[in-house]
C-alpha cells in the first residue's frame, strides 16, 4: 500500500506510442484488503482496514474509500478507527497473502522471464522480448490485469514506461485499477509537475530538506544547481536523485542488490510474560527466515536474536554457525540457544525477532560439513513444494503451528 504523493490533476493520456516503453510496473491495489475480499466476497463494497487490532496495532492495508478519509499504511490503528469509524477492521492473514503473492508472480512470469518481484505486491517486467508472442506493452498490461482479475479476483494497476523509475511512478498514478502509459518522449514532461515525494527514494526528512530550499517538484529537482543539491543531500544522493528526476534510469529488470540479511519480527498486542511464549514465536520466525533463504537460493552463516522489553530497551545477540544453513530447525536451535542465555525481562517481551546474515548464494558454492544430515532440509524443501501449490498453511512443522504466544498471553 503506497503512500507516495500523487499529482491530483495529472493527465491520464500521454500518447499511445509504447514502442520505446517496454518496462511494466505491476502494483496490486490495496493488496491485503483485496485478498480479504477475494477470500470472503461478502466484504465486497465494505470499507475495510487490515492491520493490528490492539492499541499498538498499525494499518497495513485498506480499501480506497477508507483511504479517501485519510487512512494510510503505517498509521496507528487508533487513529485509523477515529478517521473511519464505520470501517470493518481485520487482523490480516499473512500466509494467505503470501499464497496470493506467489500466484500473482507465477502469472506474471508467464509473460517474460525478465521479471523482478520488488515486494509481496509489486513487480517489474521487461517485455522487450515478449512482443511477438503477447503483443505491445499496452496489450500485455491490459491482458495481464484481466487475467489477475478473472483468475485471482484481485485488482491491479500497471505503469508502462521506458525504465523502472518512471514505470513505478506511472503505476502510482494509474491507481486504482488502471493503466498509465508514459511514452519515452513524454517522460520529462510527465515528471516535471509531480511533487518531489513521488520519486522513489525520497523520504520524509529528505523531502522536507528539499522543499525548505524551494525544491517542490521533480522539475525543480531536475534543474536545480548540482552543487547546492550536494550540500542538501550529499553528492551520491544528489547525483542519483537528479538523474532520476530527469527520467534517467539504466538499471535493468532483475538487477537488484543482493540481500545482505533476512529477518522476521513482530510487536505483540500484549507483552509476552513467559519463556514458552517467546520461544514459540522465535521457533516459528526461524522457519519463516529459512523459507525465505531457500526461495532466494541463499544460506546464512549468522543467526540473530532481537528482543525489546516493556521499557523499549532493545537487545540483539548473534551466533555464527559451523556451516551456512537454510534449514529452519538449525536456525531455530541457534536462536533459542541465544535466548536461553538471556533473562526474561520483568515486564515481558514487547517485540521479538529472528534474523540471518552473512548470506552466501548457492550458485557460487557453499561449504558443507563432511557428514551433513540432509534429511531436515529434504523435509523442509518438500514442505516448500506443497506450500507453493496449496498455500503456506497446507504443510508446516508441528512446532510452528498456530500462535501459542497469543492464545496463552495474559
Please give the annotated binding residues for Mg(2+), written as ranges.
27, 121
Q: Is residue 89 a contact partner of residue 51, using CB atoms and an 8 Å limit?
A: yes
Gyration radius (Cα) of the chain, Å: 23
How many CA atoms does the CB half-sphere of 263 hold within 13 Å? 18
- Chain-centroid distance of CA 53 in Å reads 21
Annotated binding site: 27, 121
Please enumerate in sequence order all residues whose Cβ is within 8 A of that of 326, keeping only pairs 6 or more positions apart, or say none.
290, 293, 294, 298, 299, 300, 377
Indicate if 122 belongs to the active site. Answer: yes
Q: What is the DSSP letter of 343?
A: P
Beta bridge partners of 226: none
Query: Rounded CA gap, 358 and 299, in Å?
Result: 8
Q: Cell numbers at residue 80, please?
A: 485509523
Q: Which helix (H) or strand (E) holds 242?
A: helix 235-245
Beta bridge partners of 409: none
Please enumerate in sequence order all residues whose Cβ is within 8 A of that of 356, keeping only pairs 6 or more positions apart, or say none.
261, 262, 263, 289, 293, 300, 302, 303, 304, 331
Residue of 36, 122, 330, 380 marked active site: 122
Q: What is the DSSP string of 24-73?
A: EEEEETTHHHHHHHHH-GGGTTS-EEEE--STT-BEEEE-HHHHTTT--T
Q: What phi, psi does 35 have (nearest 5°)?
A: -65, -40
Residue positions annotated with a catalytic role: 122
Amino acid at each position: 500500500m503506497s503512500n507516495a504523493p500523487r499529482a491530483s490533476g495529472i493527465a491520464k493520456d500521454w500518447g499511445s506510442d509504447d514502442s520505446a516503453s517496454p518496462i511494466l510496473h505491476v502494483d496490486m491495489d490495496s493488496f491485503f484488503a483485496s485478498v480479504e475480499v477475494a477470500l470472503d466476497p461478502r466484504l465486497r463494497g465494505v470499507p475495510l482496514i487490515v492491520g493490528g487490532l490492539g492499541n499498538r496495532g498499525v494499518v497495513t492495508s485498506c480499501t480506497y474509500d477508507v483511504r479517501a478519509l485519510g487512512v494510510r499504511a503505517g498509521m496507528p490503528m487508533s487513529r485509523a478507527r477515529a478517521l473511519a469509524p464505520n470501517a470493518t477492521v481485520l487482523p490480516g492473514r499473512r500466509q494467505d497473502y503470501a499464497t496470493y503473492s506467489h500466484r500473482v508472480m507465477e502469472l506474471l512470469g508467464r509473460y517474460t522471464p525478465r521479471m523482478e518481484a520488488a515486494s509481496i505486491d509489486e513487480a517489474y517486467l521487461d517485455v522487450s522480448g515478449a512482443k511477438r508472442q503477447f503483443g505491445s506493452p499496452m496489450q500485455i498490461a491490459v491482458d495481464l490485469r484481466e487475467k489477475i482479475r478473472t483468475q485471482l479476483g484481485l485488482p491491479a494497476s500497471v505503469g508502462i514506461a521506458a525504465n523502472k523509475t518512471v514505470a513505478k511512478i506511472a503505476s502510482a498514478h494509474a491507481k486504482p485499477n488502471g493503466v498509465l502509459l508514459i511514452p519515452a518522449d513524454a517522460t520529462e514532461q510527465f515528471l516535471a509537475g509531480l511533487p518531489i515525494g513521488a520519486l522513489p527514494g525520497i523520504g520524509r526528512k529528505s523531502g522536507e530538506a528539499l522543499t525548505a530550499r524551494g525544491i517542490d517538484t521533480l522539475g525543480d529537482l531536475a534543474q536545480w544547481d548540482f552543487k547546492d543539491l550536494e550540500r542538501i543531500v550529499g553528492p551520491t544522493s544528489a547525483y542519483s536523485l537528479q538523474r532520476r528526476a530527469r527520467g534517467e534510469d539504466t538499471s535493468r529488470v532483475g538487477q537488484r542488490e543482493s540481500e545482505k540479511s533476512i529477518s522476521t519480527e513482530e510487536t505483540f498486542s500484549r507483552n509476552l510474560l513467559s519463556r514458552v511464549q517467546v520461544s514459540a514465536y522465535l521457533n516459528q520466525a526461524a522457519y519463516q527466515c529459512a523459507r525465505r533463504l531457500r526461495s532466494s537460493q541463499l544460506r546464512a552463516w549468522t543467526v540473530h536474536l532481537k528482543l525489546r522489553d516493556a521499557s523499549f530497551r532493545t537487545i540483539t545477540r548473534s551466533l555464527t554457525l559451523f556451516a551456512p544453513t537454510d534449514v529452519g530447525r538449525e536456525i531455530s536451535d541457534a536462536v533459542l540457544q541465544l535466548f536461553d542465555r538471556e533473562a526474561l525481562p520483568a515486564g515481558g517481551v514487547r517485540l521479538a525477532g529472528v534474523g540471518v546474515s552473512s548470506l552466501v548464494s548457492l550458485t557460487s558454492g557453499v561449504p558443507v560439513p563432511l557428514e551433513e544430515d540432509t534429511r531436515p532440509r529434504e523435509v523442509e524443501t518438500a514442505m516448500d513444494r506443497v506450500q507453493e501449490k496449496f498455500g503456506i498453511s497446507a504443510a508446516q512443522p508441528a512446532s510452528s503451528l498456530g500462535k501459542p504466544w497469543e492464545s496463552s498471553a495474559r
